A = this chain, B = another copy of it.
Amino acid sequence: MQQTIIDTLKRNQLSITDSRKKILELFAKANGALAHFDIEHQSGAEFDRVTIYRTLQTFVEKGIIHTIPSADNSIRYALCKEDCAGGHHHDDHVHFMCDSCGTTYCLDHVNVPQLDLPKGFRAVQTDVVVSGVCSKCAGA
């Protein structure tokens, strides 16, 4: 896994630093999306808040992670699939936030359907965020 992480950084012309490796690793291990808050607290708080802000911003710009909109003032981030490198995101998948356990999933296999927008509206990006109960919580 270390190798994959280093590859990802290299591929995006980013220097290999401890904080970047560590944050990428957190995403790789996470079974869902992470908010700034999660990274700051789950990581054992090994680095500065500011470094987290800057690292997340860099990763978004490079297309390594993408943002997931939310209605609670806490943006979540998740790893992008290969095809959205270079900042050109094509995250045409659905996101799911579990109301019970709080996990945010990327449902990669649920495609965003084509929408019939009113005349004159041109869609560039479509975000779908579903909230409800995930399979883990429903099963329990």
Which A residues fall within an 8 A CB radius of B? 67-73, 75, 94, 96, 99, 107, 109-110, 113, 115-136, 138-139
How many copies altogether?
A: 2
Q: Which residues of B contact A120 (CB under 8 A)?
A: 134-136, 138-139
A139 — nearest CB in chain B belongs to which residue?
B120
Could you say which of B71, B109, B121 contacts A127, with CB atoms under 8 Å apart? B71
Beta-carbon contact of A71 and B68 below 8 Å: yes
Known A73-B73, A128-B128; contact A117-B123, beta-carbon cutoff 8 A: no
Cα distance A110–B128 when bound, in Å? 14
Alpha-carbon gap, A136 to B99, bound state (A): 37
Other A-B pairs, 17, CB within 8 Å; known A94-B117, A99-B124: A69-B69, A69-B129, A71-B127, A72-B75, A96-B123, A107-B117, A113-B113, A117-B130, A120-B138, A121-B133, A121-B135, A125-B131, A125-B132, A126-B128, A126-B131, A127-B127, A129-B129
